[in-house]
Amino acid sequence: MFTVISHSSEETWELAKRLAPMLSRGDVINLCGDLGAGKTVFAKGLADGLGIDEPVTSPTFTIVKEYQGNLPFYHFDVYRLSSPDELEELGADEYFYGDGVTVIEWGDKVEELLPDIRLEIKMIRLVDDDFRRLEVLPYGNEWERKVKEWLVAGS
């Protein structure tokens, strides 16, 4: 696991934007954390880094929103799901193993459906409301390589 401290929403956005060019088709990122931890800000930064021009909003009520940039970008918010079966019924596998990048907010609620090879980022608000600790956990050798490259590029 790697740990990163973000001192502002802008810094969280920039961290995500810096990761975006390293992403490939089929990449899945699970964003975990309490309400207000910065998951949507991180997703917006990824979208910006993928060249998506339209506003990115949390798909809390629609569950998934699709965007087109340098790669297709699939943004899930599974907070309101009552069971993983609901996500499975939406055809989540087609997104997870598809031709784009998938970001899932609250993915810990459906962890058993997530691909074994993925990136997990747990976002934790610290004492100062602007500060976040990002606990970055890569699953798989390729994610390990990407995370090291991402974090070294930012230091």
pLDDT at 90: 84
78 near 4, Cβ under 8 Å? no
The encoded tokens of residue 45 equal 């930064």
12 near 38, Cβ under 8 Å? yes
pLDDT at 154: 64
Which residue ranges make up each domain of the chain?
2-153
**pLDDT (tens digit, 9 = 90+) per residue, 59-109?**
777 889 999 999 999 999 999 888 888 888 888 899 999 999 999 999 999
CATH H-level, domain 2-153: superfamily: P-loop containing nucleotide triphosphate hydrolases (3.40.50.300)
* Across 2-11, 38-47, 87-96, 140-149, least confident range: 87-96
- Average of per-residue pLDDT across 141-146: 95
Q: Give the span between the Cα atoms of 24 and 10, in whole angstroms.
A: 24
pLDDT at 155: 58
pLDDT at 121: 98
